[in-house]
Structure 1
Amino acid sequence: MKIVKTICKHLILFTLALILTFFLLMTLFLLIDVQFGFFVSIFMCLSALGSFSFCIYEFVKDNKVTRLPLFIRTNQLVLLSYLSLAYIFVSFYFFSINLMITTELGKDLSLEEKIDFYTLPFQKEPSNSINYQRMKENKLTHQYQNFTIYYKPHEKELLPIIERAIDKADYLTSGLLGAVKDNEIDFIIHASSDELYKETSLIKTMGYFDDPNDIVGIAITDLDEITADRMPGSFYFQSTIMHEYTHYRLQAFIKEQGLFVYRIPLWFHEGVAEYIGMYDVKHRYYPFKDTSFENLVTHKEWEKFRLDNYDVYLQSYYAIRYIVDTYGETIIKEIIEETAKVNDFNKGFAKATGISIDDLQTIYLLNESEEKIEMKE
């Protein structure tokens, strides 16, 4: 019974030390710059290991080597050991989060965004873990530029089609954004949209780009139609590749500007990706269900309206096409650069274009409406 009480006492002490250390360090990291916080977390990891090593040494060393006061070698040493062990766990936790932020998310995060990232594992609905390794198993690989394409033997005829789509998207995004430092990207071919949904839980989706993991995934709609270059399967397959490639290039450019990727609203991300994916495509305008651009800022908002039959992709495409037709293709780069200067998209957008998002809401279909009138005449 005495042993059980002792174990419970030590567990309680360690838990309290862990909680105290976590909140103290989180308060510190919320108050300091993200990049500086990354270096602080490295120092803390090293000092935590040093502190714990000292405790172990004090427990096992010969008393004759050094003579510390008795109170340090008993209860206080045990307490210091708990604090050091807690310090190790918490320091490595914040190191991993800060590493992710500085390498993937940009330098300038708001207080609310920092809190979200530092408490991500404790949130009620964490994002589903996708097993990309399982998707790659038993597949052949083909290297093209910085892409490793994972495919099955009967899908080999898709490789030259994928290469052409990558080349075209590379050319167009380079013209839009300039030179961007490329990462190594894994390109996974899914046999169907149903398989893509089964593996990723992405609803009504033909492709995706997973930024933190540098993964592009594309679903096959009709293999024979694609390889025979017949419409509409061939067009949509290549358009989806170009769309997802643009997400990759755009997010890489945004991060190069030191911005948090989703400081730029999602409608802008998707609009630019659609602009490249549908480049030079001629189609007649038709009325569609749209919403305020202010409702399409986050992924959660985007999915809400997308799955409620709003034409959010078309709306975003028309908005970007209006901006480009009015100001030229360099405007996309200028908007992001101006946003980076003030860390605020609405201000950066207004600075680059001379109009507000509210103004855009009222005029982005102006060209399409004029074209519709001309066609009727």
Structure 2
Amino acid sequence: MNKLISILKVIIHTFFWPLLIYGLFLMLNEIQGLIIGVLLLILCFIVFCMGFIGLLKGNISIKFKYKRRGSFLIVSLIAFSTTFFSVTNYILDSSLSQSLSARVKNHYYVEALLVEKDRIFERISFLKTLKSKADSASTIFYEKTDDKLAAAASVHIRKVQAYLDMGIDNHKPVPVTIILYRNPLIFQKHLPRHSYENLQALYVPSEETIHLLVTKQMDIDKARYLELIGHEYTHHWIVSYLAENGMDNRHLPRWFEEGIAEYTGKQSVRKVPNFTPLNLLPFSRLDSVEEWAYENRRNSPHLPYRQSYYAIDQLVRDGKEARLKNLLLNKKENFYKLFQKEIGMSVIEFEVRFLRDEMRLYRETRGD
């Protein structure tokens, strides 16, 4: 029984210490990581030497006891994990011209260990070829020719943040990373697996990063570029806002979050698209990421982004903008039940009403 308890203790310590060191190094920068790494290695070396000396003083012909073997195993694991995280921590922080957040580091570590070991170095090598611009709200990586676009994005993010603070709630998100691409192939290569087609921008929550492909159309029409920045930054704001309140966005229907992002993006550039008739989808068919991706395929007869924009636009025009906060922070109640309570009608009734009103205005404008 004592041997079993000793083995269990060794197993627990074997997992506990590397995880503790991993968490520590996520929060350290390159210099701090090296200092702590060296101190931990020295401590491990001292413990190892003390154990080895004690072993030499005893009877060498006798096999190690479980506790002694377990101690050597634990010390070895601590030394190995300390060395590994010291080196990788230094490479990550010193290679890029910004201090990486714990979440971003965690993404790189997991990606390197479990997904593609070479991809982490490819990403870092690519970012080192770009210029960067950083402030309290964002860090932007861009090609030398896109200095003005990077500056415009930095200013626009603060504008979008002020708009969201006023419309939903006061919140200061963690700084977002933005990577501007010119090459579509490199852009696609740096995105996680997804089902979207003709994608020009994507926010990746695990990286706290916006990937954006700058097109020739955006060079001509900068409003389109800033609209995308506003849209994707809204996703970052929502994820950060929910995290501050101990939540994530999995409880939100996709149409609702995308609608807020689409509405905010267009409002940030003072763009108010005219209503155009569309094949309306029940919002219950735009609930999950998979459903959203399916309805956004190239040959889809539906326009989910436009439909979701109209829905949020209608809520704002109905004076229900203050209700968005309650819908975002819903923890316990079914979203659609809460929607009916907050808005005063079911989602189906709301869909029918806003479509009917928009069609009436559309006909009046055309003189039908």
- Secondary structure at the counterpart of residue 246 of structure 2: coil
Report deviation, 1:183: 0.7
- Counterpart position of 2:159: 168
Residue 213 of structure 2 is aligned to residue 219 of structure 1: yes
- Counterpart position of 2:291: 301
Alpha-carbon distance in 2 for matches of 1:333, 1:285: 26
- Counterpart position of 1:237: 225
- Counterpart position of 2:328: 336
- Counterpart position of 1:50: none
Residue 349 of structure 2 is aligned to residue 371 of structure 1: no
List alignment gaps of at least 5 residues for structure 1. Answer: 1-16, 26-37, 46-55, 86-102, 105-119
Alpha-carbon distance in 1 for matches of 2:308, 2:351: 11
Report deviation, 1:78: 8.7
- Counterpart position of 2:127: 136
Alpha-carbon distance in 1 for matches of 2:245, 2:54: 56
Residue 344 of structure 2 is aligned to residue 350 of structure 1: no
- Counterpart position of 2:311: 319
Alpha-carbon distance in 1 for matches of 2:72, 2:291: 47
Check the 8 A contact 2:320/2:343 in 1, yes or no: no
Residue deviations 1:230-281 (CA, integer Å, cap 9, x gap): 4xx3221111001011111112122223223211111111100000111142
Residue 247 of structure 2 is aligned to residue 248 of structure 1: no
Equivalent residue letter for 1:271:
G
How many equivalent pairs are there?
314
Residue deviations 1:302-358 (CA, integer Å, cap 9, x gap): 111111523111111111111221133212112223x13x25322332232222223
- Counterpart position of 2:4: none
Instruction: Tell me: CA distance 1:148–1:364, structure 2 relative to 1, closer, same or farther (3 Å).
Output: same
Report deviation, 1:292: 2.1
Alpha-carbon distance in 2 for matches of 1:161, 1:210: 21
Equivalent residue letter for 1:262:
R
> What are the equivalent positions in structure 2 for 1:177-192 lying under 5 Å apart?
177-192=168-183
- Counterpart position of 2:35: none
List alignment gaps of at least 5 residues for structure 2. Answer: 1-7, 24-47, 77-101, 104-109
Alpha-carbon distance in 2 for matches of 1:239, 1:193: 19
Alpha-carbon distance in 2 for matches of 1:275, 1:320: 7
> What are the equivalent positions in structure 2 for 1:8-23 lying under 5 Å apart?
none
Report deviation, 1:60: 7.6
Alpha-carbon distance in 2 for matches of 1:321, 1:238: 19
Report deviation, 1:140: 0.9
**TM-score, length of structure 2 as denominator length:** 0.65
- Secondary structure at the counterpart of residue 212 of structure 2: strand
Give the percent of matched residue pairs that are identical in Structure 1 and Structure 2. 19
RMSD: 5.0
Alpha-carbon distance in 2 for matches of 1:187, 1:148: 6
